[in-house]
Structure 1
Amino acid sequence: MIDRTSADDVVSLASGMQVGAVVVVERDPGDVESLLAERIRTVPRLRRRLMPTPFGCGRPIWVDDPGFDLTNHVGRVVCPAPGDEAALLDIASSLVIRPLPRSAPLWSATLVTGLTENRAAVILVFHHVLSDGIGGLAVLANLVDGAPHTETTPFPAPAPSRRELLKDAWTARLKFRGRVSFPGLRWPSRGARCSLNQPTGPRRRQTMARAGVSRLHAAAHRCGGTVNDALLTAVMGALGTVLTKRGDHVDELVVSIPVSTRRSTTAAHLGNSTGVMPVALPTGGDPWSRLTRIAAITRAHKKSVTSATPIFRALNVLGIANWFMNHQRMVHTVVTNVHGPDHPLRFGDAPVVDLIPLSATTGNVTVAFAALSYADAFTITVVADPDHVPDLLVLTEALQAELEFVEGHEEATAPRQGPRS
């Protein structure tokens, strides 16, 4: 079977975005190379590279890399003192923005030792073309302990011939002929000008805020919303606080919310399958009234989720995709939320004590948010261009305060910890 990229994959490839996760374990898991050597065999794309096809033969395909060498994908680093979360995230930030070579499978794993409390971490990074967040969870499920045994095919399989590629491409074209549509994106009105939209530079910095899934769910339910609505409420409140301090007075911000078009997938069926829901959300008011308003807004927009692929493919054809992303004023920020594992995981027989999402900003969006749940823990990573967001710690502190308020009055009035960076 030919493993061909989808139209959504091609857009992700053009964006150059890399994502991942930090898997924090209770102790050093030992020989990571040996652990991964067997487990990656159940995830075909971890031993495949992207290959362009001849003219007329369709989109690029994934083919087995006959020269695959695991040591080229696995690294080790000792975290510098004091070995805390800030130091760990500094390492993760540098890895997620370091371009993966296109001539090899598009992923890396780095073992970080020297953390406080004798902990260690594995930083997984992959190009977004490999998969979206739902697929990323499928990859993780095959890399941790207890993954189900999956029959693997002989490796490396030969690449398909030009005749096979041509036949496959035309079969797909005829299959979808007459069913392909190009829906228009239902964007809100042009976003208000503010300091959130500036062309980003090469550096990134990441900080964290935390909450409890069950408490956020209970609070959101009382206002007719979801955990994602509670997340959006906290993000909007925090951004409103920071923008006011900057002298920007913006009553609402346009948020791009990626929405998966599938609930689950397997490690053999990765790729990207997402839509986008752009919505204008309020930044003011008390958190409870803001949560009620945001819940109503997102409910009204859920049927308007659509694909951004057609418009970006057109921009690519015109050669102005990068220019557009660096100058657009339609979106102020991006908020991603992925429902992670509900049960505790182990890696190398070491308990996984934390899962931290890794993301990046693109174009002129200077700050974005990525959330990932693990058991009852809800971790939100704030990723920003530090040259345009010098007040990142202030933003993170405001986000933590908003989350605590939403979680409940008792938590909101308790002494707050400083921002996790």
Structure 2
Amino acid sequence: MSERVRPRDLAFLARETPATPMHNATVDIFDAGPDGFDHAGLLSLIEDRIAFVPRYRQRVVSVPGRLANPVWVDDPDFDLHFHVRRSALPRPGTHEQLWDLVSRIVSRPLDRHRPLWEVYVVEGLADGHVAVLSKSHQVLVDGVETVDLGQVLLDTTPEARTLETEAWHPRRRPSAARLVRGAVRDSLTSPTTVLDTGRATAGATTRLLRGATQRAGAVAGAVTGRRSEQRSPLHVELSEQRRFVTVATDLADYRRVREVHGGTVNDVVLATVAGGLRGWLMTRRESMGGLRRLRAVVPMSVIDDELEATSLGTQIAGHLVDLPIGEPSPVVRLHQVSYSLQAHRETGRAVAANRLAGIAGFAPTTFHALGSRVAAAQQRHDPDLSVTNVPGPQFPLYAAGARMVESYPVHPLLPGHALAIGVTSYDGKVFLGITADRDAVPDAETLAQCVREALEELVDAASADRPRAPRGRTPVRPPRPDDT
């Protein structure tokens, strides 16, 4: 019998609604070069590499009567042309037009009757560039059995690697009777099957009760005329549409700030996000007096034998960080962020950024997928947003001979959360992807501009200051050589 869907993955499927599609996405932009890079080239590349991610040719099939958890089975009708699609912008297409297209595509849930992924090749960009937008459901990439497709497509040279693969022939789809027999057999011979089925049933009941409680609260509020208190403007009822914007920055700027004020590049990234959120909220005339901090869940790589192992050699743990948006000084904001993360670094579990960047393939796509899973698990702590920063290789990568020049993560929104931010460093740049609810954050472009200005504030402060800690504050340790 095929492998069963684990309870944790089944919970992602059960929680998915039209307003909360549970997929991760990435937008990579390539310089097509003189040889060109198009839909046919990417289709051929994926056909050559998909054998290394076999789950991308499988779909989820339920067991009749829910006698056991669903199973992964080969899709006998798998059609690569359905999953790898072609699109285009009116030439010369701008980044703004591309982000508008990305916003519409990531708003749509994936088709449950097929393998849970899609790739779009977007042609027509200015300067001969081509964009590749990939979507993968959170159940598809667990870092244990399956990595993200993007991790196996890129090469370190323009000459593509020659990889030996065997011809794929889908196994016959199991009949309903076979699924039932397999469920009964597994329940009798494997205690974990019974336990997993019980967990899935209990989880479904809990979600139903939680939903009923929330609806009852909404009805009560409507009857009494009272509105539920929101801790921040980022807690909203989500629409079914998204808005996606980006910020492209130089890694050298973050390193300059780190050299002057200490901490790590990750600290500077989070301080930049905090400053951007502060500036954005002020444009909305939000009171900074009552809203001093925003709590962010920040997935980070660790070495921890108690956490689920991954094929990447590290585990991912979620850390709650209070972003000091009420603090007007950019330098003080940075030191407050550094102090809040110092305890994590001193545990000895933290993984050096250069180690993550050296993992084979373009691992940021997989790390972002795992980060979004961790952020979802931290929802019980009621964070305001998620911020996932993943260091990538600081040298160029290629797909079918085309050089990748930009890479932006597109994180899913947690239920009731209007904002998620993903950050990827690559080849001397730091790329921020901001996913927002279209109705709750119609001014997402303003937030992106505020993030740029927040980094400029830190760089200006680093240019003017000598390396010293603010008076009366605990100095932050000097940066280690591996803090990239």
Normalised to the residue count of structure 1, the TM-score between the two structures is: 0.78
Tell me which of 289, 307, 311 is aligned to 1:265. 311
Asked if 2 retains the 8 angstrom alpha-carbon contact of 1:133 and 1:338, the reply is no
Q: What pairs with 1:6-405 in structure 2 (closer than 5 Å)?
A: 6-13=6-13, 14-15=15-16, 16-27=21-32, 28-30=36-38, 31=40, 32-53=42-63, 58-80=68-90, 82-131=92-141, 138-145=148-155, 146=160, 149=163, 151-152=165-166, 154-158=168-172, 162=179, 164=182, 171=190, 173=192, 193-220=231-258, 222-248=260-286, 249=288, 250-259=291-300, 265=311, 274-283=316-325, 284-300=327-343, 330-405=382-457
Q: CA offset at residue 262 of structure 1?
A: 7.4
Alpha-carbon distance in 1 for matches of 2:153, 2:321? 36
Asked if 2 retains the 8 angstrom alpha-carbon contact of 1:208 and 1:380, the reply is yes
Alpha-carbon distance in 2 for matches of 1:64, 1:392? 40
Q: CA offset at residue 8 of structure 1?
A: 3.4
Q: % of aligned pairs identical?
A: 29
Q: CA offset at residue 68 of structure 1?
A: 0.4
Q: CA offset at residue 217 of structure 1?
A: 4.0
Alpha-carbon distance in 1 for matches of 2:324, 2:316? 25
Alpha-carbon distance in 2 for matches of 1:380, 1:243? 19
Quickly say closer, same or farther: Cα 1:338–1:12, change in 2 above 3 A.
farther
Alpha-carbon distance in 2 for matches of 1:373, 1:165? 45
Quickly say closer, same or farther: Cα 1:64–1:214, change in 2 above 3 A.
farther
Farther off after superposition, 243-252 or 294-303:
294-303
Farther off after superposition, 151-160 or 23-32:
151-160
Question: Which stretches in structure 2 are left out of the alignment for 5+ residues?
Answer: 200-228, 302-306, 351-370, 465-484
CA-based RMSD of the aligned residues comes to 3.9
Question: Which stretches in structure 1 are left out of the alignment for 5+ residues?
Answer: 181-190, 314-324, 413-421
Alpha-carbon distance in 1 for matches of 2:92, 2:167? 45
- Give the partner amino acid of 1:21: T
State the secondary structure of the residue aligned to 1:79: strand
Q: CA offset at residue 2 of structure 1?
A: 4.2
Asked if 2 retains the 8 angstrom alpha-carbon contact of 1:19 and 1:125, the reply is yes
- Give the partner amino acid of 2:8: D
Quickly say closer, same or farther: Cα 1:36–1:128, change in 2 above 3 A.
same
State the secondary structure of the residue aligned to 1:98: coil
State the secondary structure of the residue aligned to 1:23: strand
Larger radius of gyration: 2
Alpha-carbon distance in 2 for matches of 1:377, 1:135? 30
Normalised to the residue count of structure 2, the TM-score between the two structures is: 0.68
Alpha-carbon distance in 1 for matches of 2:333, 2:251? 19
State the secondary structure of the residue aligned to 1:331: coil
Quickly say closer, same or farther: Cα 1:59–1:111, change in 2 above 3 A.
same
